[in-house]
Chain A
Amino acid sequence: MIEKYANPNRFQTLSKHLIPLFGILSLIAFTVGLYIAFFASPPDYQQKETVRIMYIHVPAAWMSMSIFFWMGISSFLVIWRRHHLANIAAKSMAPIGAVLAFICLVTGALWGKPTWGTYWIWDARLTSMLLLFFLYIGYILIQYTTEDHFKASKISAIFASVGLINLPIIKFSVEWWNTLHQGPSIIRAGGPSIHETMLWPLFTMAFAYLCLTVFLTLINMRTELLQQKIEGMLRRKVSEATHA
């Protein structure tokens, strides 16, 4: 199945239809999500209105972690099968994941000040999330600064695979260590501890983030494929000119 859909030509045809679909879906989901977040969901009894920061902070955290997970899976395919499109997928996802990790960190700090009384504290959850942001930066630097594409794909794939270790640390940091950051409130034994009036805007915004991520990943993948075609054309032109 991987071979069937990982063909660059098949991908180009498929992505042509999927890009507008995910673009429209993300626009609709963001509009609906923002409306529910601001007008249909109530303020929290303790945090009051600041709870509304959750609707952009939590989905950003989920997506930045999910993106790194998929980058890790793609990287395994690069190492194991030397899959060309898997490398392009991981490379295309990295800047999106970095921006989402950045959003998560900044909105978290802006939520932390009125809630905890501080923008930042070096607790396990915040530090491991910051590490994820640096892992993204490291990955991007390897991919875009190494001149040899083959070498860049190999090194960055190993880097992303090793970086996967950070994901369970982020997830379980609030259980393994005593942190200022709250414990799990959605995926936990006994079900979510958030009221459904706050869960719906959260899930709608998460869906919007997901659609935007797919939309941007597909665009970036098409750009990377085009860039490689351009490089091929230019190489051919140069070799033709030198052989003439």
Chain B
Amino acid sequence: MSEMPPPIDPQLFRLAADGSPILLAGRDRDTGRIAFPPPADNERFETIALPRHGRLWSWTIQRFRPKSPPYAGPEAFEPYAVGYVALGDTIIIEGRLTGAALDGYRIDMPMELVAIAFTMADGSTRTTFAFAPGAGGGQ
């Protein structure tokens, strides 16, 4: 497998030995509440790895190019899918959706975490996380 471009944010995820991404979150040491993105306060929050499988909680299609800033994608625009995925009994995470046609997403379908290359407006690339239809739910 080819070298992955640098992560869009180094605090967000790490890559497992097989190259698959592992999303990081913070668990409140007192209440057990899970927070994402992982808060910087390491005294209050312990860093945990989130489950890699879940179910699609909701979704939509972004059909116009978002304004820049903050959007850093290329000038040429292709509509993309975004959604929230419930990862077992931990947390519901928002991310890009990939791996299906734009009309191919349904609430409750099984999803899995994947790494994708994100092209910036200057042509460089970063690795970010996304969810793709996959096996199993709630793992």
Q: Do A and B bind each other?
A: no
A residues sitting closer than 8 Å to B (CB atoms) are: none
B residues sitting closer than 8 Å to A (CB atoms) are: none
